[in-house]
Amino acid sequence: MKVIEHLEKANETVISFEIIPPKRGGNFKNLLQALEDLVKYNPPFIDITSHAAEVIYEETASGDYRMKIKRKRPGTLGICALIQNKYNIDAVPHVICQGFTKEETEDFLIELHYLGIDNVLAIRGDESGFKKPTKFGRSINPFAVDLVKQIADMNKGIYLEDTLLDADSTNFGIGIGGYPEKHFEAPNLQTDINFTKEKIIAGAEYIVTQMFYDNKAYFNYVDLCKANGIEVPIIPGLKLITSKNQLKTLPSNFYVDIPPQLADEILAAKDEHVCEIGIEWATKQVEELLEANVPAIHFYVMQNTSPIKTLMKKLDR
Using one digit for the tens of pLDDT, what is the confidence trace for 253-290?
Answer: 999 999 999 999 999 999 999 999 999 999 999 999 99
List, as own/partner pairs, every contact residues 284-289 make where C-beta atoms lie below 8 angstroms and the sequence separation is at least 24, other chains included.
Answer: 285/213, 285/215, 285/238, 286/238, 286/311, 286/315, 287/315, 288/215, 289/13, 289/215, 289/218, 289/236
- From the list 152, 147, 153, 167, the residue with the least C-alpha distance to 105 is 147
Q: State how far the Cα of 234 lies from the Cα of 12, in Å rounded to an integer.
A: 15
Q: Which residues pair with 16 in a beta bridge?
A: 298
Rounded to the nearest 10 degrees, the angle between the axes of helix 29-39 and helix 306-314 is: 10
Distance of alpha carbon 180 from alpha carbon 215, whole angstroms = 9
* Rounded Cα–Cα distance for residues 95 and 170 (Å): 15
Determine contact, residues 118/4, Cβ cutoff 8 Å.
no
Decide which of 3 and 135 is more confident: 3
% pLDDT > 70, the chain: 85
What 3-state class would DSSP assign to 244?
A: coil
* pTM, full prediction: 0.90
pLDDT tens for 193-249 read 999 999 999 999 999 999 999 999 999 999 999 999 999 999 999 999 999 999 999
Residue pLDDT, tens place only, 154-169: 999 999 876 565 678 8
Give me the pLDDT at residue 56, please: 40
In CATH, 3-314 is 3.30.390.30: no
Judge whether 307 and 315 are in contact, CB under 8 Å: no
- What integer is the mean pLDDT of 186-199? 97
Which pLDDT does position 138 carry in this prediction? 67
Q: Which residues pair with 57 in a beta bridge?
A: 67
Indicate left, alpha or beta for 156 from its phi (over 0: left) and psi (-120 to 50: alpha): alpha
- If you average pLDDT over every residue of the chain, what do you get? 89
Is 267 exposed, middle or buried, given 0-12, 13-18 or 19+ CB atoms closer than 10 A? exposed
Residue 280: closest CA among 298, 270, 266, 295: 266
Cβ pair 211, 282 in contact under 8 A:
no
| Position 180 pLDDT exceeds 90 | yes
Q: Cβ distance 75 to 69 under 8 Å?
A: no
